[in-house]
Structure 1
Amino acid sequence: MKKNHIFYSCLWVITCFITTNIHAEMILHGTRVIYPSDSKEVSLQMTNDGNRPALVQAWLDDGDANSTPDQVSLPFMMTPPVSRVEPNKGQTLRITALPNSAELNQSRESLYWLNVLDIPPKAAGTNAPENFLQLAIRSRIKFIYRPSSLKQDINKAPEQLQWNKLGQQIVIKNPTPFYITITSAFETTNTKKTDLVPKGLMLEPFSEQKISSPNMQIDKIEFITINDYGGRTEHITQLVQ
């Protein structure tokens, strides 16, 4: 008789849709979590859309996707860290800032990542196959700590980006204290649009990034950013030569 082999693999999925699917059953209602520093707590709703119970583990990390919950020490507490979600039922994750969160940089946003791991039940009984692959799927979404001292309008931050053309490159400068996610940046040549950032990019506060642009004739860029609610906003800006 062959011995059953169960392989557990962790996959993480980052998506730009408002709803994130986990194992096609667990659903996160959001693509990012914003924590204003003057809030007592923030929450994220998740729902089990499947027909079986789900065991879910949730934790925050500081950017290392390979870190485990026991290896990360952050000034936030998440409850519940592990939960069982019944079919067609929901669960609310609550994140509370600890007193030492006041030691975080108050002049700019801080970025972390929220992980949700869906652990499928072990196959058992007479219907269990002799050899099967079992996947535990992890989703990581942005968790942004936003100091209340930042009085600028986050919705106007993309308009403050500076786009400078330097030869065959474009330098994008972010002079704001906010993280800005760009999903696309189009240049147009003879009515043909080319996306210069097909994989997207994220600009840290007070940072700059360079992208390639071999077209020497362009003078404007159309770009799309993601807002706090996961929605897409279109912009047009002039290039500074």
Structure 2
Amino acid sequence: MRRILLLIALLSCQLMASVQAAIIMVGTRVIYDESSREVTLRISNTGDSPVVIQSWLDTGDTRSSPDTSDAPFAVVPSVTKVLPKQGQSLRMVFTGDAGELPTDMESVFFLNVLEIPSIRSEQVDQNKLVLLTRHRVKVFYRPSGIAEQPSRALGRLSATRSRIGSNQTQILVRNPTPYHVSFRRAEVVAGEQSLDLGRGGMIEPFSSERWVLEGDVTGEPAELRMMVIDDHGGNRVQSVSL
């Protein structure tokens, strides 16, 4: 009997809409307040066939599996079937000791949802490539000791610009807030000139990052313009003077 070949494609949440993926997750991130008993995430199967999903959390290892899960969370149900054109709720429950996590800033974890498509009985004896899609979203654990609102905290971001060599610019971005700052894109702007970072990213709480760009802008005043992702997954333009 010929075996079905399985290829595991580890796809990020940006690839959820690919032709192989039937599962759609509501929201691009999860905020888990310390005071919450649980947080519910809704998923839907937009395909024409049932799929099985398996869910777990990790602390940042993109190669993690349910057996190596090292995050203090449980997902209920951890394995379930989702019928076509129907939905399923996943409940995330914090199972760790809140005292072992920072009390003055967010902690970030990652929820993995592995989508396993169904195989019809007549396909069992066929050579068939099956794509298993892994959806991966950030989970921010927010301790109750943080009093500052995220929207206000963004106003405290700061940045400085300096030249490196003859044709490079260094941007030092400081995040003095207790929140992770996630952004889809960022650019240095001065008048009609701009330099694109060409990528998104995330700046951890109470930390800084250095970015090196090719070229420079000569106009004044210059600013760092970031497309920041808010708690609901929406976009917010945040400008920081340089």
Taking structure 1 as the reference length, what is the TM-score of the superposition?
0.89
CA drift at 1:74: 2.6
Q: Tell me whether 1:156 sits opposite 2:152 in the alignment.
A: yes
Q: Tell me whether 1:178 sits opposite 2:173 in the alignment.
A: no
Identity of aligned residues (%): 33
CA drift at 1:135: 0.4
The answer to whether the Cα contact below 8 Å between 1:76 and 1:101 also exists between their aligned partners in 2 is no
Instruction: Name whichever of 179-188 and 216-225 sits farther off.
Output: 216-225
Aligned to 1:211: 211
Count of residue correspondences: 233
Aligned to 1:225: 228
The answer to whether the Cα contact below 8 Å between 2:184 and 2:227 also exists between their aligned partners in 1 is yes
1:113-192 matches, within 5 Å, as 113-125=110-122, 130-167=126-163, 168-188=169-189, 191-192=192-193
Q: Tell me whether 1:201 sits opposite 2:204 in the alignment.
A: no
CA drift at 1:97: 1.4
The answer to whether the Cα contact below 8 Å between 2:195 and 2:216 also exists between their aligned partners in 1 is no
Q: Tell me whether 1:109 sits opposite 2:110 in the alignment.
A: no
Partner amino acid for 2:181? I
CA drift at 1:72: 2.0
Q: Secondary structure at the match of 1:131?
A: coil
Aligned equivalents of 1:174, 1:140: Cα separation in 2: 25
The answer to whether the Cα contact below 8 Å between 2:71 and 2:109 also exists between their aligned partners in 1 is no
The answer to whether the Cα contact below 8 Å between 1:48 and 1:89 also exists between their aligned partners in 2 is yes
Instruction: Name whichever of 220-229 and 2-11 sits farther off.
Output: 2-11
Name structure 1 gaps, 5 residues minimum.
Answer: none
Aligned to 2:239: 236
1:63-102 matches, within 5 Å, as 63-98=60-95, 100-102=97-99
Q: Tell me whether 1:50 sits opposite 2:53 in the alignment.
A: no
Q: Secondary structure at the match of 1:108?
A: coil
CA drift at 1:12: 1.9
Taking structure 2 as the reference length, what is the TM-score of the superposition?
0.88
Aligned equivalents of 1:192, 1:171: Cα separation in 2: 19
Instruction: Name whichever of 183-192 and 28-37 sits farther off.
Output: 183-192
Q: 1:121 to 1:224 in 2, by over 3 A?
A: same
Aligned equivalents of 2:41, 2:25: Cα separation in 1: 7
The answer to whether the Cα contact below 8 Å between 1:75 and 1:101 also exists between their aligned partners in 2 is no
Q: 1:189 to 1:237 in 2, by over 3 A?
A: closer
Aligned equivalents of 1:190, 1:231: Cα separation in 2: 26
The answer to whether the Cα contact below 8 Å between 2:181 and 2:228 also exists between their aligned partners in 1 is yes
CA drift at 1:192: 4.1
The answer to whether the Cα contact below 8 Å between 2:75 and 2:92 also exists between their aligned partners in 1 is yes
Q: 1:233 to 1:177 in 2, by over 3 A?
A: same
1:208-229 C-alpha deviation (Å, 9 max, x unpaired): 1111243152522222100000
Q: Secondary structure at the match of 2:56?
A: strand
Instruction: Name whichever of 45-54 and 98-107 sits farther off.
Output: 98-107
Q: 1:237 to 1:189 in 2, by over 3 A?
A: closer
